[in-house]
Amino acid sequence: MMTSIHSGNVPSVSPLDHLLGGDHFRFAHLAIEGIDNELVFARNAPGQREEEICLFHKSMPSGDAYMALLADRIEAGMKNHSPLPVVRFADGEYAFYSGSLRCNGLYRQAESVAAIKAAFPAHVEALRNLAASGIMAPLVFPGNTRARRGLRALLRKKDGKDLATRFLQFLAHNHVKLTETNYIPFYCVYSYLSSTRFALAVHRKIVCIVNSDFNEAACAAWFERAGSHPRLVHVPIPDSYVATQWDSMREDVFRNVPENPGCFMVGAGIGALQVCVDAARRFSAPAIDLGHILNMMNDLERKSQGPRLFTFRR
């Protein structure tokens, strides 16, 4: 059963309803042809199945339609040399925008709460640019949009069940809104980037891998298995604190970008927001936040602490 989400401006309306303004969304099952999540479910907690239920805009009939939309936009960006940042948001980002050092999970994202707060203006500017010209892919599902109730709510204890709601509150406070044209489900990005279609789309193109790790042989083999041979160029960045120090890193990083890149594949943790927005704008190319997919390409899945949903095919 699908649950509709509508706008509202009265206290009785849930935060999610209110924050989505005039756009109409629903929760629906994200099914993508060829994807098999059973291997992940077998290894992880059964409750993760709930993450297959995600936010859909009313105009999108299925997960395959979202996949086609994402693929078409990225491939058009490469063909037309037009800027297109694509950025995912999940627990780490939600903690960061709550001003919490819980963002330092798998990687070192922020030195202190003060550093997070100091970075907010630059991140808000990047979020506005992303919403205006790119694609936002937040992880929004029933399990992270539940309101806190009872004593827990009174004490404002954070149990993880309203992480996405609080992120959407942060967006609304800063006048950033999810819409039909700038939103896509989080896991669609994983699914497209791990597909043969993406591999073939970058065949013989210059692909800038912006990341602290680069196993050239492993990355080349990843594409070769799909019959693709892009020119892979590693553009190194530090392995920590990109989210709080990007403004001081930007020029040194971009100095290593070759002429006419086809696209950027970015692994920068929470810093991927600014990296993708700035790279897409400066070099007129798609800049995609890959995260876990880059770990897979580099044979470094252990850095993600295991497999992720929507990355395995039948």
- Tens-place pLDDT, residues 54-95: 999 999 999 999 999 999 999 999 999 999 999 999 999 999
Asked whether the predicted pLDDT for residue 6 surpasses 70, the reply is no
The amino acid occupying position 268 is A
Closest by CA to 272, choosing from 168, 144, 160, 136, is: 136
- Per-residue pLDDT, 149: 53
What does the alpha-carbon distance between residue 165 and residue 162 come to, in Å, rounded to a whole number? 5
Contact 299, 218 (CB under 8 A): yes
Helix 186-193 and helix 63-80, axial crossing angle in degrees, nearest 10? 60
What's the DSSP call for residue 120? H
251 compared with 10, residue with greater pLDDT: 251
Helix ranges, the chain (H): 15-19, 38-43, 63-80, 91-96, 113-133, 150-154, 163-173, 186-193, 196-201, 216-224, 242-254, 272-283, 292-297
The whole-number average pLDDT for the span 3-10 is 37
Asked whether the predicted pLDDT for residue 200 surpasses 80, the reply is yes
Total domains present in the chain: 1
What does the alpha-carbon distance between residue 144 and residue 159 come to, in Å, rounded to a whole number? 10
Exposed, middle or buried, 269 (CB in 10 Å: 0-12/13-18/19+)?
Answer: buried
Phi, then psi, of 151 in degrees rounded to 5: -60, -35
- Per-residue pLDDT, 246: 98
Contact 68, 56 (CB under 8 A): no
Could you report how far apart the first and last alpha carbons of the chain are, in Å? 26
What does the alpha-carbon distance between residue 93 and residue 37 come to, in Å, rounded to a whole number? 24
What does the alpha-carbon distance between residue 25 and residue 141 come to, in Å, rounded to a whole number? 12
pTM of this structure:
0.90
Q: What is the span of the domain harbouring residue 3?
A: 1-314
| Number of separate helices (H) and strands (E) present in the chain | 13, 9
- Per-residue pLDDT, 9: 41
Q: Which helix (H) or strand (E) holds 137?
A: strand 135-138
- Per-residue pLDDT, 156: 46
- Per-residue pLDDT, 13: 53
314 compared with 119, residue with greater pLDDT: 119
Query: In Å, how far are 23, 158, 276 from 151, measured between CA atoms?
Result: 33, 12, 41
